[in-house]
């Protein structure tokens, strides 16, 4: 019996890739319309912009990774374990880089920080991180696509939250008029 040419969840992976491309593309639109002629972006806005772009690109790359691994001859269960291990690595690197930057940006910012939303995003990140660790180590009842999918949903969620935040800022700027 030959190896299946189809990747489990390929439809949803394709949809996530398309959504992440849309977020990435609209990030450029936000950047253009969000430019102030008289001032630069605030550090918090730059941080959110970078997080939006990073999360969108992570969703794109991680949604395409299973195709590369599968067609490279890796068994399906191992595809999800490797994918989850790479997500864990990515989350650790991003957390290490962003924690200090966010602390500095918060000190310098005159914009309100919504701690309830920040806490919800951090809690979601922690749950996703733990699921990915367990999936990578094969410690879930079955190593699964669903566990890996949780990370992709997290990246899209982070993209959406930051997109709305930046878009609301652009709306405020556009509403002020000349």
Quick: pLDDT tens for 2-59.
456 788 889 999 999 999 999 888 877 777 766 666 667 778 888 888 999 999 999 9
Where does 40-144 have alpha helices with state H? 43-71, 76-108, 115-136
User: Which domains does the chain possess?
Assistant: 10-176 (1.20.120)
Q: How far apart are CA 115 and CA 129, in angstroms?
A: 20
Of 58, 17, 24, 41, nearest to 170 by C-alpha is 41
Rounded Cα gap, residues 73 and 56, in angstroms: 27
pTM of the model: 0.86
Backbone φ, ψ for residue 74 (5° rounding): -85, 135
Q: Quick one: pLDDT band at residue 169, thresholds 50, 70, 90?
A: low
- Predicted local distance difference test score (pLDDT) of residue 77: 86
């Amino acid at each position: 019996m030959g190896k299946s040419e189809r990747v489990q969840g390929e439809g949803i992976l394709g949809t996530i890739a398309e959504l992440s491309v849309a977020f990435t593309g609209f990030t450029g639109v936000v950047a253009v319309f969000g430019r102030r002629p008289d001032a630069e972006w605030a550090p918090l806005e730059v941080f959110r912009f970078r997080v939006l772009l990073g999360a969108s690109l992570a969703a794109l790359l991680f949604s395409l990774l299973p195709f590369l691994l599968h067609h490279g001859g890796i068994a399906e269960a191992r595809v999800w374990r490797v994918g989850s291990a790479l997500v864990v690595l990515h989350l650790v690197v991003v957390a290490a880089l962003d924690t200090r930057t966010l602390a500095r940006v918060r000190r310098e910012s005159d914009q309100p920080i919504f701690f309830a939303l920040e806490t919800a995003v951090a809690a979601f990140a922690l749950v996703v991180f733990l699921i990915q660790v367990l999936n990578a180590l094969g410690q879930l009842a079955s190593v699964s696509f669903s566990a890996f999918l949780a990370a992709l949903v997290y990246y899209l969620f982070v993209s959406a939250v930051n997109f709305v935040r930046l878009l609301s800022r652009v709306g405020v700027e556009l509403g002020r008029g000349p």
